Amino acid sequence: MNKNNELTKKYIRDIKSADVWSVFKILADFVKGFDELGDLGPTVTIFGSARTDKENRYYKQATNLAKLLASHGYNIMTGGGPGIMEAANKGASSEPVESIGLNIDLEHEQAKNPYTSKELTFDYFFSRKVMLVKYSMAYVIFPGGFGTLDELFEALTLVQTRKVTGVKIFIIGTAFYQPLIEFIQDKLLAEGMIEKEDLDMVHLTDDCQSVADEIDISLEKQIEVLEDAGLKNTTYYKSLSSLRK
């Protein structure tokens, strides 16, 4: 039996499974994530292709960026798989921070990488995606396929609708992503699907140092917001302020 038939049978079994059992599995995903990640300090999530090999320039760039951010004291979170995810966890693993991998139970492609200090596996993409964005103060998007683009537009939607605040979105790979940015400008903006200020959410660059610098600036702004709100005694404030230079 080929893999497509196996996947079709799995899909049919899932459709026929009891709704209550599905709810329990969904709840288990969320409870696991909240329980394991709720006390994380300042964290940056790095997204990108699982199919990028070690010789690819983006793999090397992701390793260097993660190492740089980790040296500033930021935990690094990824989807836990190979490619860009492995590169980022590898870079973080050389520093005394958490290198977090949130894996997904797939039939192929998503093997765990060996560079995580904290590892969780999820049954559902949507619960995993919530955890990837919920506990991070910045998202860095490297080149990738459908999954990476899904995560990019999820992040943009969350910031646009203010479901998350104080979060920076960085897109690495000018040559790779410039056509997408032009589409957003020439089609979405030109035809009134988004506002001009929505473009400010996107920081397209190839300069990893500038990403680290911008995240440091964002850290200071978030600390100031917490201070103004009278939240200096919270655990989150203390974790942020511990990274002040």
Tell me the residue range of the domain where 141 lies: 42-207
162 and 62 part of one domain: yes
Q: Which CATH number belongs to the domain containing residue 178 in this structure?
A: 3.40.50.450
**145: confidence class by pLDDT, cuts 50, 70, 90:** very high
Taking a C-beta distance cutoff of 8 angstroms, is the pair 66, 92 a contact? yes
State the pLDDT at residue 111.
Answer: 76
**112: confidence class by pLDDT, cuts 50, 70, 90:** confident
220 lies in a domain?
no
d(CA 99, CA 36): 13
State the pLDDT at residue 152.
Answer: 96
Q: Residue 233 above 80 pLDDT?
A: yes
Output DSSP code: residue 141.
E
Mean pLDDT value of segment 48-56: 95
Please give the backbone phi and psi of residue 119, each rounded to the nearest 5 degrees, phi first: -135, 130
37 lies in a domain?
no
93 and 190 part of one domain: yes
Q: Residue 8 above 80 pLDDT?
A: no
**114: confidence class by pLDDT, cuts 50, 70, 90:** very high
The count of domains in the chain is 2
19 and 82 part of one domain: no
26 and 88 part of one domain: no
226 lies in a domain?
no
Q: What percent of the chain has pLDDT above 70?
A: 89
The tokens of 40 are what? 């994380």
227 lies in a domain?
no
pLDDT in tens, 121-143: 998 888 999 999 999 999 999 99
Please, which residues have CB within 8 angstroms of residue 133's CB and are 6 or more apart in sequence? 45, 139, 154, 155, 158, 164, 167
74 and 175 part of one domain: yes
Taking a C-beta distance cutoff of 8 angstroms, is the pair 105, 122 a contact? yes
22 lies in a domain?
yes
185 and 83 part of one domain: yes
47 and 159 part of one domain: yes
113 and 54 part of one domain: yes
pTM over 0.95: no
Mean pLDDT value of segment 69-93: 96
HSE-CB at 144 with a 13 A cutoff on CA atoms is 26
218 lies in a domain?
no
* Helical H segments across the chain, by residue range: 3-16, 19-37, 57-71, 84-93, 125-134, 146-160, 174-183, 208-228, 235-241
54 and 15 part of one domain: no
240 lies in a domain?
no
d(CA 13, CA 7): 10
127 lies in a domain?
yes
Taking a C-beta distance cutoff of 8 angstroms, is the pair 132, 102 a contact? yes
Q: What is the mean pLDDT of the chain?
A: 90
28 and 53 part of one domain: no
State the pLDDT at residue 197.
Answer: 93
66 and 171 part of one domain: yes
Output DSSP code: residue 201.
G
Q: Residue 173 above 90 pLDDT?
A: yes
146 and 73 part of one domain: yes
The tokens of 170 are what? 């960085």
**Torsion region of 75: left, alpha or beta (phi above 0 gives left; psi -120 to 50 gives alpha):** beta
**2: confidence class by pLDDT, cuts 50, 70, 90:** low
